[in-house]
Amino acid sequence: MKKLFLALVLLAGTLCTRAQKFYTKNGNISFNSKTNIENIAASSNQVTAIIVPATGDIQFSVLVNTFHFEKALMEEHFNETYMESSKYPKASFKGKIDDISKVNFTKDGAYAVTVTGDMTMHNVTKKTTTPGTVTIKAGKISATAQFIVKLADYKIDVPKVVRNNISETVTIKVACSFDQKM
Amino acid sequence: MHIQKILFLTAVLFSFGCRAAAQDTTGTDLLADLEKETAGKEAEATKYATATFKTTRLISGHSSENVAKGVMDVKIAHRFGTLNKGGYELFGLDNATMRMGIDYGITKYLMVGIGRSTYQKTYDAFFKIKLLRQSTGRRNMPISLSYVPTIALKTLKDANPEQNNYFTSRLYYTHQLIIARKFSDNLSLQLMPTFVHRNLVALASEPNDILAIGIGGRQKLTRRLSLNAEYYYLLPGSKLNGTTNSLSIGFDIETGGHVFQLHFTNSQGMNERTFISETTGKWEKGDILFGFNISRVFTIGKNR
């Protein structure tokens, strides 16, 4: 009788941990614009990201002014003239892992998934689908993705004089380890 | 124990444990929940005002900006002749004085600069030290404060070579405080109390020390264009004969690594001591000079 009770309690416990949320506040997002003349790269280690294994919900948010560049002037221009970070301080992605059932959260491995959701930056929201990878290692969840964004899609206009220095498309890389529980 | 009791207890456990989960999946803004959950647990960040001005000079004088650490800023400035010279001198464009200079950021808070002006063949050198930075958040500071000490050496041949001329007679010192505030994305203003000392003056009746208060600012017109103005008021009793207050109005145009500053001014000089204490042109008489500064930055060291 006691065993039955314990088993039921454990079952209740496991069912409910599946609905747990995992998050991080120091995920990484980096991007790269490559032209024949100049490479422009920046990265932020202050990405907030949250994942709900039970539902496949996944969301990211980053303050635009936390991106650091090698050249100080690039950073100033990025904030001042391109992203207008004082007006639009955050960039975010809110979506779902479409094929969350593929991921076995109890078994180590790298699972290829597809993520669909709304990406918002520079006050423009666009529906985006991108392939990504969810990695489980010793119970820890991490996620990576790489995708390409067209600057024009987010109304980030590049003046003619620097059009040769800044690529029309930017490659964005996301890497987050969801090391905190909620 | 009765089996009903156990089942009841487990049912309670299920309903408690899983109700939260059911709510979670329906809430779409997980980030906002997270924000609420962790609010107050982390120290509030300090937000510093950045890009108060586009470059380290407002027009002729300094702005509150420094070049970043490891960045070299090559500055070339021209002032043409006065507009009232008329068409024969193409409104002053036939004459030009210039200053070539290099600024360099040693740290985030300290920059140095050297320059050479054709006007009286003057060399100048300065430090610009950031003492306070405008910020909100954990640290709240309404203004930025910088200190700019400058030394200038006039190398023009002595007017009276037969008299005993000292090397020190060629030296000029300027001390300037820059109190700046970025009021909004578009509007920044600054005050510049300034002290100029010259070792030699032309007449015994003229003061060696000059006190002036500068006021200046910028209003952005577009993301890459701003309207700037700069005015230096000489305090009563600290004026050289025949000099007047310096007033300049201009535009900053920014393109990638360059900043072009185009302006109209009644001052010919481009170092502190000349435009603050030796301006002779009068706006109302048309002694207005067209001029420009070009700034080009090169990143030499690593940022941070």
| pLDDT given at position B97 | 93
pLDDT in tens, A43-55: 999 999 999 999 9
Say if CB A9 and CB B13 are below 8 A apart.
yes
Task: Compare CB distances from A80 to B3, B51, B302 and report the shortest one's residue.
Answer: B51
pLDDT value of residue B29: 79
pTM greater than 0.90 (yes/no): no
Contact with chain B for residue A6, Cβ under 8 A: no
Contact between B49 and B65 (Cβ < 8 Å): no
Greater model confidence, B13 or A78: A78
Interhelix angle B3-26/A2-17, rounded to 10 degrees, is 0
Residue B45 DSSP one-character state: P
Other CB atoms within a 10 A radius of the CB of residue A49 amount to: 28
Above 0.90 for ipTM, yes or no? Answer: no
A70/B304 Cα distance (integer angstroms): 8
Residues in A closer than 8 angstroms to B254, CB to CB, are 81
**Termini Cα distance of chain A:** 33
Chain B nearest C-alpha distance from A21 (Å): 9
What tokens were used for A174?
């996301």
pLDDT at B26: 41
- Positions of chain B with pLDDT lower than 70, given as ranges: 1-28, 40-43, 302-304
DSSP string across A70-110: SSHHHHHHIIIIIS-TTTS-EEEEEEEETTGGG--TTS-EE
Q: Which residues pair with B206 in a beta bridge?
A: none
B18 against A156, higher pLDDT? A156
Q: Are B276 and B194 in contact (CB under 8 A)?
A: yes
CB contact under 8 A, A165 and B256: yes
Buried-exposed string B248-264: b where 16+ CB fall within 10 A, e elsewhere: bebbbbbebbebbbebb
Residues in chain B with CB shorter than 8 Å from the CB of A120 are: none
Chains A–B, number of C-beta pairs less than 8 Å apart: 110
pLDDT at residue number B204: 86
Q: Do A19 and B22 touch (CB under 8 A)?
A: yes
Partner B, chain A 31-50, Cβ-Cβ below 8 Å: 48, 50
> Residue A142 belongs to what H/E stretch?
strand A140-150
Identify all chain A residues contacting B256, using CB atoms and an 8 Å cutoff. Answer: 77, 161-162, 165
Task: Quickly count: other Cβ atoms within 10 Å of residue A145's Cβ.
Answer: 21
- Pick the closest to residue B122 from B74, B172, B58 (CA basis): B172
At residue A71, the pLDDT reads 87
Which residues are bridge partners to B229 per DSSP?
B217, B249
Interface probe with B: pick from A1, A4, A16, A35, most Cβ of B within 10 Å: A16
Q: Which residue of B has its CA nearest to A76?
A: B51
% pLDDT > 70, chain A: 90
Q: Which of B3, B24, B31 sits opposite A59 (nearest CB)?
A: B31
**Cα B23 versus chain centre, distance:** 53
Which residues partner with B263 through β-bridges?
B250, B291
Query: Would you give the end-to-end CA distance of chain B in angstroms?
Result: 68
Is the model's pLDDT at A15 over the cut of 90? no
The rounded distance, in Å, linking the Cα atoms of B2 and A176 is: 49
Q: Which residues of chain B approach chain A closer than 8 Å at the C-beta? A: 1, 3, 6, 9-10, 13-14, 17-18, 20-22, 24-25, 28-31, 34, 37-38, 42, 50-51, 67-71, 185, 223-224, 254-257, 297, 299, 302-304
